Amino acid sequence: MTVQEGRAEVGSPRKRSEDARLITGQTRWTDNLAPAGTLHVAFLRSPFAHARITRVDTSEAARSPGVVAVFSGADFADEQGSLPCAWVVTEDMKHPDHPPMAVREVRYVGEPVACVVARDKYAAADALEEIDVDYEPLPPVVDMNEAVADGADLVHEELGTNKSYTWVFENGDIDAALRDAPVVIEREYVQQRLIPSAMEPRSVLCVPEADDFTLYSATQIPHILRLMLATVTGIAEHRIRVVAPDVGGGFGSKLQVYGEEVLALLLARRLGRPVKWTESRSEGNMTVHHGRDQIQRLTLAAERDGRIRGFKVDLLADMGAYLMLVTPGIPLLGAFMFNGIYKMDAYSFTCTGVFTTKTPTDAYRGAGRPEATYAVERIMDELAAELDLDPIEVRRRNWIAHEEFPYDTIAGLTYDSGNYEAATDKALELFQYDKLRAEQAERRERNDPVQLGIGVSTFTEMCGLAPSRVLGSLSYGAGGWEHASVRVLPSGKVEVVTGSSAHGQGHETAWAQITADRLGVPFEDVRVLHGDTAISPRGMDTYGSRSLTVGGVALYAACEKVVDKARKVAAHLLEAAEQDLEFSDGRFSVRGVQQEGKTIQEVVLAAWAAHDLPEGMEPSLDSDATFDPDNFSFPHGTHLCATEVDTETGMVKIRKYVAVDDVGKVVNPLIVEGQVHGGLAQGIAQALFEEAVYDEEGNLTTTTMADYLVPSAADLPEFTTDRTETAATSNPLGVKGVGEAGTIASTPAVVNAVVDALRPFGVKDVPMPCSPERVWRAIRDERKPETAEPGAGGGLGSAGGAQ
C-alpha cells in the first residue's frame, strides 16, 4: 500500500514552509523568550578533570550587585536527585550517581559546581568570579586502555572499577570461522570523540505558576524530558509542562536530560521566579554530551576468494564520567550493524563501557551505527587490498543479493528489503569509476606528488528506532511507538498534532504533505503542531531517524481514521451505503455517480453542526493513532569518494563525492537531499576535521570553534546525490528514514579514499581525523610524533588512541 491518491503532495519537492520564518528571524528560540521578572542563571564549572570539592564559598558572590541567590551543589543535595540513565544494558551494569550539580567530587572539566541567579546575565557572569572553591585534585583518567588495566586510577572510587559493563553478542561459531582461515585481518580503529555542535546552543527557561511549572528547553525530547524531570525531582508529572519551541538542531545532543534543565526547574521552584540559562559555545563544547569515542579491535576471517567467514569485534566504548540518558546503549546500537550488508557464518561482538574523567558521551547522529559501518567498510577495503581485489568486487561477493530479501542477518536482524546492486551500479556510473581508476594508475605511474585515492563505502542501518518489543528486549527504558492526532476544524482547515519533535528536520512541511494527500485538502490548509506537552500530550520525540517511519506513519493512520469517520457522515448525508462511496481528491462520491458528492470540508461542517448525524456518531472527525512497527527500517546506499592527497604536505582534498541512497519512498525529495548533504558534511567532518581533544590532565583543548574544526561549505566538495527506491515493507508508507544516512557511509568512504591513495607507500591506515600531519606521518610510517602533543598532531587524541 502506498500513498498515491489524487494529487501527489507526497513525492513533491516542496520548499520547506517553516524556512521563511526561520531565516527571517521570526523565531521562538528559548533564549528569545523573556517573561517579566526572568532571572538569569550562570554556572560555575569545574576546571579539574577530577577533584574532590573541599570547600565552596558563595558568600562573596551572593553580595555581588544584581545577584539574587548563589547555590552550590550541597545546597541542592537533598532535592536534585540523580540524572537518569534509561538504558540499563546489563543487570550488573555499574551506574554511578550523577548529581546535576556536583556535591563532593567533580569528574570532568565543565561539571557544574555552583550557580548564580541574578537579575541579568551580566551580573550572573560577573558574580561567578566571586565564588571561591577549594579542590583537592585527584588523578585524571583519560586513556581507556589505561582505565581498564589493573590498578588503574578510578573515576568512581566506590565502584571499584572503571568498567561500567561488558555486553556480548555471539552468533555462529566464531572460533571455527577464525581457525585455519586462509585470510585473517586484524585492525584497530579509533572512533575519535566528537562534539555535536548544534547551531542553537542549549537553553532552558522555567516559569513557575503556583505549583505548576512550564519548562521551555532547546530539547529534542519534550515528552521524555517531562517524565524524567518528574522522576528526578519528585514534582508530579501533571504539574510540569515542557515546551520545545523552535529548536536549532540537535544531532542527538538534545536527546538528553541535562542537569541544567533539572536545576532550572528546582531554581524556579525555590525562588518562585522564572529562571533562564543559555550556554555559550565554549561552555557547550565542554558540557554538551559528546559522541563516538570507541577503540575497535577487529578480526575478520575470509576465504581466499574474498568471502567472509566470520567477524570478531571487541570494543572499548568511552562513557565519559557518568551514564546519561542512553549512554551505555549507544555502542550497542552498533552491535547489530558490524556485519553491514554482508553475509557471514559467525559474528562475535563484545563491548566494554569504560568510565573516564571526560564529558559523558551519548547519542550523536548515527549513534553506534556510523562506528560499526566504519569498522566493516574499512576492513572490507583492507580485505580487498590483501587479496588484490577491487573493493567493489569484494563487496559484491559478500553482500546480500536483492532476491534474498527478507534476509535474517548473522546479527539477528531481518532486513526487509534492499537492492545493493542497483544502488552500487548507479553510484559507479555517476562516479565514472573506471575513468578515475585509470587516472589513479597514471598518477601512480609517474609518481605524482598528488596521489588520487578512491574510497568505497556501502552501508545499511537499522533505523526508525521503534519496535517497542525489540527495544524492550534490549532493556531500553521506553517504547518506540509514536502518536499523531488530526483535528479537522469546522472551516475545513486541519491541525495535525504530532509526538515527533522537529528541530530542523522539516516536519511541518512533510507532515502537511502526508495529510494533504490523505485528506485531499490543500497543503496550505494544514498546520502542524508539535513540541509542547500541553498541545501534544503523547509522543516519543525525534531521534534515530524515526520521525517519518514511526511518527509519519502514525499520522498516516490517523488520517485514515478521519476519512473513515467522514465516510460515515458522508454516507449518511448522501443517503448511500458506506461501501458505495469513493473518496478521491478530498471528495466523497457515490460510485458511478460522480456529480453526487460531498467534500471533506462539507462533511466536517456537517459533523460540527451535528444537525443530522448518523446514530451514535460524535460531532467530530478528529482522530488519533499510534504506530509501533514490527521491525526497524533499513535504508542503505553506496558512497564513492575520490580524494587527492598531497604527499608532500599530507593535505587531503575531496575531488568527487557520489552518494546513492535508498531511503525507501520519499515524501519530500528536497528535504531528503538536504538531510543527505548535511549528513555527508558531518561524516566527512569526522573523517577529516573534527576531534574533541583532551590533554593528559583531562583538559578539553577544543573548547572553541577555532580548535574544534567544523567544516563550512568552503571546505566541502560539491556532492552528487541520487537515490534508488526500494520500499520498506514494515510500514504502509514504505519509508525508511534519512536523518542519519549521510553521516554513516561518508566517514569510511573518505578514509578509504585517503588510504587508497597511499597504498603505494605501504600505508594501511590513517587515524581519524586524517589531518595533514597524520597523513604525512602515515606516509613516513610514523604513527606518533616524537614530541607527543595532543590532537591532530598525533599524540593523545580522544579515546587515548590514535597513537
Please say which residue, 116 or 380, places its beta carbon nearer to other proteins. 116
Q: Are 633 and 727 in contact (CB under 8 A)?
A: no
Please say which residue, 128 or 275, places its beta carbon nearer to other proteins. 128
In 585-740, alpha helices (H):
600-609, 669-688
Helix, strand, coil percent content, the chain, rounded in steps of 5: 30, 25, 45
Exposure string over 162-200, b if 16+ CB within 10 A, otherwise e:
bbbbebebebbebeebbeebebbbeeebbbbbbbbbbeb
Give the number of other CB atoms < 10 A from CB of residue 561.
Answer: 16
- Please report, for residues 122, 262, 286, 287, 781, the alpha-carbon distance to residue 43 in angstroms, rounded to integers and kept in the order given: 13, 13, 13, 11, 46
Q: Are 638 and 420 in contact (CB under 8 A)?
A: yes
Which residues make up the interface to other proteins (CB under 8 A)? 44-48, 60, 65, 109, 121-122, 125-126, 128-133, 135, 137, 280, 282-283, 286, 648-649, 651, 688-689, 693, 695, 697, 699-704, 706-707, 709-712, 714-715, 771-773, 776-777, 785-787, 789-794
SS3 of 382-399: the string is: HHHHHHCCCHHHHHHCCE
Q: Report the nearest approach of other proteins to the CB of residue 51 (Å).
A: 9
Please say which residue, 49 or 185, places its beta carbon nearer to other proteins. 49
Q: Report the nearest approach of other proteins to the CB of residue 37 (Å).
A: 21
Please say which residue, 560 or 695, places its beta carbon nearer to other proteins. 695
Please say which residue, 551 or 791, places its beta carbon nearer to other proteins. 791
Q: Are 143 and 695 in contact (CB under 8 A)?
A: no
- Please report, for residues 155, 286, 429, the alpha-carbon distance to residue 138 in angstroms, rounded to integers and kept in the order given: 9, 19, 58
Q: Report the nearest approach of other proteins to the CB of residue 694 (Å).
A: 10
DSSP secondary structure code for residue 156 in this structure = S
Tell me if residue 83 falls in helix, strand or coil. Answer: coil
Q: What is d(CA 146, CA 152) in angstroms, rounded to the nearest whole number?
A: 6
Q: What is d(CA 536, CA 507) in angstroms, rounded to the nearest whole number?
A: 14
Q: Are 160 and 92 in contact (CB under 8 A)?
A: no
User: Is the Cα dihedral 572, 576, 581, 584 positive or negative?
Assistant: negative
Please say which residue, 194 or 392, places its beta carbon nearer to other proteins. 194
Q: What is d(CA 6, CA 520) in angstroms, rounded to the nearest whole number?
A: 7
Please say which residue, 130 or 740, places its beta carbon nearer to other proteins. 130
Q: Say how many CA atoms lie within 13 Å of 34 toward its Cβ.
A: 7
Q: Report the nearest approach of other proteins to the CB of residue 62 (Å).
A: 13
Compute CA 427 distance to the chain's CA centroid, rounded to the nearest angstrom: 26
Q: Report the nearest approach of other proteins to the CB of residue 325 (Å).
A: 26
Q: Report the nearest approach of other proteins to the CB of residue 125 (Å).
A: 4
- Please report, for residues 39, 226, 640, 763, the alpha-carbon distance to residue 273 in angstroms, rounded to integers and kept in the order given: 7, 20, 55, 61
CA nearest neighbour of 11 among 517, 416, 508: 517
Q: Report the nearest approach of other proteins to the CB of residue 685 (Å).
A: 9
Q: Could you please report the per-residue DSSP string of 612-647?
A: S--TT--S---EEEEE--SS-B--EEEEEEEEEEET
User: Is the Cα dihedral 795, 800, 801, 803 positive or negative?
Assistant: positive
Please say which residue, 556 or 689, places its beta carbon nearer to other proteins. 689
Burial of 161 by CB count in 10 Å (0-12 exposed, 13-18 middle, 19+ buried)? Answer: middle
Residue whose C-alpha cell reads 491541525 in the numeric block? 495
Please say which residue, 182 or 785, places its beta carbon nearer to other proteins. 785
Please say which residue, 313 or 779, places its beta carbon nearer to other proteins. 779
Q: Report the nearest approach of other proteins to the CB of residue 773 (Å).
A: 5
Please say which residue, 2 or 704, places its beta carbon nearer to other proteins. 704
Q: Report the nearest approach of other proteins to the CB of residue 715 (Å).
A: 5
Please say which residue, 436 or 709, places its beta carbon nearer to other proteins. 709
Q: Report the nearest approach of other proteins to the CB of residue 129 (Å).
A: 5
Please say which residue, 610 or 710, places its beta carbon nearer to other proteins. 710
Please say which residue, 215 or 796, places its beta carbon nearer to other proteins. 796
Q: Report the nearest approach of other proteins to the CB of residue 442 (Å).
A: 21
User: Is the Cα dihedral 570, 552, 554, 539 positive or negative?
Assistant: negative
Q: Which cell numbers in the block locate residue 540?
A: 516519543
Compute CA 301 distance to the chain's CA centroid, rounded to the nearest angstrom: 31
Please say which residue, 412 or 785, places its beta carbon nearer to other proteins. 785
Provide CB contacts within 8 A for 654, sequence distance 6+. 641, 642, 643, 644, 684, 716, 717, 750, 753
Q: Report the nearest approach of other proteins to the CB of residue 132 (Å).
A: 6
Tell me if residue 188 falls in helix, strand or coil. Answer: strand
Q: Report the nearest approach of other proteins to the CB of residue 115 (Å).
A: 13
* Measured distance between the N- and C-terminal CA atoms of the chain, rounded to whole angstroms: 53
Q: Report the nearest approach of other proteins to the CB of residue 392 (Å).
A: 30
Q: Report the nearest approach of other proteins to the CB of residue 48 (Å).
A: 6
